[in-house]
Amino acid sequence: METSNDLSAWWMPFTANRPFKESPRLFVSAAGVHYRTADGRDILDGTAGLWCVNAGHAQPRIVEAICDSARTLDFAPTFQMGHPSAFELAERLVEATGRKFSQVFYTNSGSEAVDTALKMALAYHRVRGEGTRTRLIGRERGYHGVGFGGISVGGMANNRKWFGSLLNGVDHMPHTHDPARAFTRGVPLHGAGIADELERIVALHDASTIAAVIVEPVAGSTGVLVPPAGYLQRLRDICTRHGILLIFDEVISGFGRLGTPFAMDYFGVEPDLMTVAKGITNGCVPMGAVFVKAAVHDAFMQGPSGAIEFFHGYTYSGHPLACAAALATLDTYDEVGAYANAASLAAVFEDALHALRGRRHVIDVRNVGLVGGVELAAREAQPGARGMEAFKRAFEHGILVRVTGDTLALSPPLVIERTQIEQLCRVLGEVLDTIE
């Protein structure tokens, strides 16, 4: 298909490039909870960018911090060198978890954070003399980014099937979604028993072969699947019993999305490793991180003191601009009361979303904190087509939602106001009436 010359050179990610370039959707600026399009329209940001701009756009403190850092220290190597803001940020981040973790390892994205955590888990067992623990367990419908590690433990078929045989020795637990629970408000009360499938997988492979289990506390990319009450605790218990590391991938759920600092706080379950990205810098500079429990970190610190303890890192691990942005982001979250706002608006959000029950095409609504999924019935033999049309129509009507298959996902900036939440859901309902 012909595409216009000036748009053709960029091969866009996770995009149907040909139709996009026929009819592009372009943002040129953003402030607060709105984007401005190239043709001068304001779009209400129902997705915090791509689940990352938790404090809203163009927060002055963050903008200033990035500019200052670029002027003062544009880049500093972090292999056998350091710079103060990377240490200061690590301390602040550890503090933000209530010291449940003791160290932070920096990456530049969620995908890199996931691959880093998986490598840490493998190496952790090996340094402790349990090198037979090489298996990694993920979950159906899981999304852990697009590195080879992440797609191997991930469970979204389209993200895997094109790319060969992937990592060896990976197995998957079943996902937690049950259509019989459609329109559950918040956390489903029943269904925790599905966690016992992990026990079956452990029995099959033997615990001595398993390094780690990785899950998103709330599955985001696959269409917002909220875990049943007690499910995560059961995973925790099974992992503890068998010496398996539990990794929570909090790339979406971290930094206030559920109204608590992290999903682990919301559910009251502590993993051994936790991956984050996105909201760590309010989306302003690419950054990810892995939080590590002291026991895991300390296991690495046993060899000769001149030896590198973990053969891993990225050129841009702890980049000064990202550290500056993250420090200013933590300050901003405090200053504007972002997490508290999310917590206090969660019920409003739930009501507004569930008011879509009974609207055309809607077969399920799921929500927790300030994240929601509205699932539409798929068109016969055209999965995803109705969802995509709804997404495009919503954009024409001035709201940005995210589409995954036939589920529309909403994850507005945590600083959104009640009336804006109501507007988002009202317009979405009107849009659904206009599509076949």
8 A C-beta contact, residue 413 and residue 421: no
The residue assigned the tokens 């026929």 is 22
Q: Which residue is closest to ligand PXG by CB? A: 110
Cα four-point dihedral sign 108, 401, 353, 179: negative
User: Which of 32, 138, 145, 271 contacts ligand PXG by CB under 6 A?
Assistant: 145
Q: Provide the b/e sequence for 367-395 (b: ≥16 CB within 10 Å).
A: bbbbbbbbbbebeeeeebbbbebbbbbbb
Nearest to ligand PLP of 314, 395 (CB atom) = 314
Nearest to 242 by CA among 337, 125, 101, 156: 125
Least separation in angstroms between CB 76 and ligand PLP: 14
**Residue 125, binding choice from ligand PXG, ligand PLP, none, Cβ under 5 to 8 Å by partner class:** none
The C-alpha atoms of residue 281 and residue 285 are separated, in whole angstroms, by 6
Nearest to ligand PXG of 50, 94 (CB atom) = 50
Residue 105 interacting with ligand PLP (CB under 6 A) = no
CB contact set of 62 (below 8 Å; sequence gap of 6+): 55, 281, 282, 284, 325, 328, 329, 332
> For the CA atoms of 406, 369, 276, 94, what is the dihedral angle to 10 degrees?
180
Q: What phi, psi does 305 have (nearest 5°)?
A: -70, -15
Residue 251 interacting with ligand PXG (CB under 6 A) = yes
8 A C-beta contact, residue 128 and residue 119: no
Q: What is the DSSP string of 231-258?
A: HHHHHHHHHHHHT-EEEEE-TTTTTTTT
**Residue 402, binding choice from ligand PLP, ligand PXG, none, Cβ under 5 to 8 Å by partner class:** ligand PXG
The residue assigned the tokens 């303890």 is 309
Nearest to ligand PLP of 128, 312 (CB atom) = 312
Residue 252 interacting with ligand PXG (CB under 6 A) = yes
- Looking at residue 339, its amino acid is Y
Residue 106 interacting with ligand PLP (CB under 6 A) = no
Show the binding pattern over residues 270-309: x = contacts ligand PLP (CB under 6 A), - = does not.
Answer: ----------------------------------------
The C-alpha atoms of residue 274 and residue 258 are separated, in whole angstroms, by 16
Residues 267-306 that bind ligand PXG (CB under 6 A): 277
CB contact set of 172 (below 8 Å; sequence gap of 6+): 137, 138, 139, 140, 142, 153, 155
Show the binding pattern over residues 305-344: x = contacts ligand PLP (CB under 6 A), - = does not.
Answer: ---------xxx----------------------------
Residues 385-424 that bind ligand PXG (CB under 6 A): 402, 404
Least separation in angstroms between CB 54 and ligand PLP: 26
Span interacting with ligand PXG, options 127-135, 137-145, 193-201, 343-351, rule CB under 6 A: 137-145
Nearest to 389 by CA among 112, 19, 7: 19
Span interacting with ligand PXG, options 189-197, 226-234, 246-254, 338-346, rule CB under 6 A: 246-254
Nearest to ligand PLP of 228, 318 (CB atom) = 318
**Residue 314, binding choice from ligand PLP, ligand PXG, none, Cβ under 5 to 8 Å by partner class:** ligand PLP
**Residue 221, binding choice from ligand PLP, ligand PXG, none, Cβ under 5 to 8 Å by partner class:** ligand PXG
Give the CA radius of gyration of the chain: 22
* Interface size with ligand PXG, residues (CB under 6 A): 18
Least separation in angstroms between CB 428 and ligand PXG: 16
Interface residues with ligand PXG (CB under 6 A) are: 50-51, 109-111, 114, 143-145, 216, 220-221, 249, 251-252, 277, 402, 404
Q: Which residues bind ligand PLP (CB under 6 A)?
A: 314-316
